[in-house]
Structure 1
């Protein structure tokens, strides 16, 4: 039974990734890495230093520095000196940075909603239940580790 569950789980990953990639296509005019940083910053809802961002995204600080500079030049992020650590800077989203993330998720939601119209009412209920159940069970597995 474990083998069959693992097989279904592994099959789910490319399906979800492919579906999400299609929904996300052309939603923002940023590189993959820039989008990753903006999303992370948005989810944190606070200013972070480069080390926090680097650790949170598992990206080398050297690689992150260029991405942050490009996002700052584009008006998506702002850097300010860290008052607690004079050697560090804090990075935060600008209103434009927040806006681009919110617009992206609205576009994804609209595309997803349009895709749902391809399903019958019963299929939509099945999908809702299946997604809910998968989320609950995966969270339970994570919590018990």
Structure 2
């Protein structure tokens, strides 16, 4: 599993570079993806959806904010709560990011039948559920 994760990150970074997307890396792309899908989120919600640790996430968000990709929006009802949202600049990269994600799926499943893909993804969902039961 860790070898798959390592290799897929390298391939994803390569595809980003080849596509001219040099403003964010793969992990930052995961953050943007969940924000594109869900709208504005808290740091806790982003961490849960990306599986990134809060300490890692905070420094990444700082760099992404400096790069003009995200903004922090204070909650008017709870001053301690901060929402994260993408900027228009980040939205300009959505189409390329989606293309790269589709390309990654093509690479992952090259030579697999539809039934094999469905079965494999079902097994992965079972593993995720088993791990989530541990409450980490």
TM-score, normalisation: structure 1? 0.61
- Tell whether 2:116 aligns with 1:134: yes
C-alpha deviations, 1:122-141, integer Å up to 9, x for none?
xxxx94xx342223112443
Mapped partners of 2:69, 2:89: distance in 1? 5
Q: Give me the CA root mean square deviation.
A: 3.6
Give 1:24's match in structure 2, choosing from 3, 8, 15.
15
Mapped partners of 1:63, 1:18: distance in 2? 17
Alignment of 1:18-97 (within 5 A): 20-21=11-12, 24-26=15-17, 27=19, 28-29=21-22, 30-43=24-37, 45-97=38-90
Mapped partners of 2:49, 2:28: distance in 1? 14
TM-score, normalisation: structure 2? 0.64
Partner of 2:132: none
C-alpha deviations, 1:51-88, integer Å up to 9, x for none?
11122222222221121121112121111112343201
Which is further off, 71-80 or 18-27? 18-27
Partner of 2:93, secondary structure, is helix
Structure 1 residue 34: deviation in Å?
2.0
Please say if residues 23 and 108 of structure 1, whose CA atoms lie closer than 8 Å, have aligned partners that are also in contact: no
| Runs of 5+ unmatched residues, structure 1 | 1-9, 116-125
Task: Name which one, 1 or 2, has greater alpha-carbon Rg.
Answer: 1
Aligned residues, how many? 120
- Is the alpha carbon distance of 1:31 and 1:111 closer, same or farther for their aligned partners in structure 2, counting shifts above 3 Å? closer
- Is the alpha carbon distance of 1:106 and 1:60 closer, same or farther for their aligned partners in structure 2, counting shifts above 3 Å? closer
| Structure number having the greater helix percentage | 1
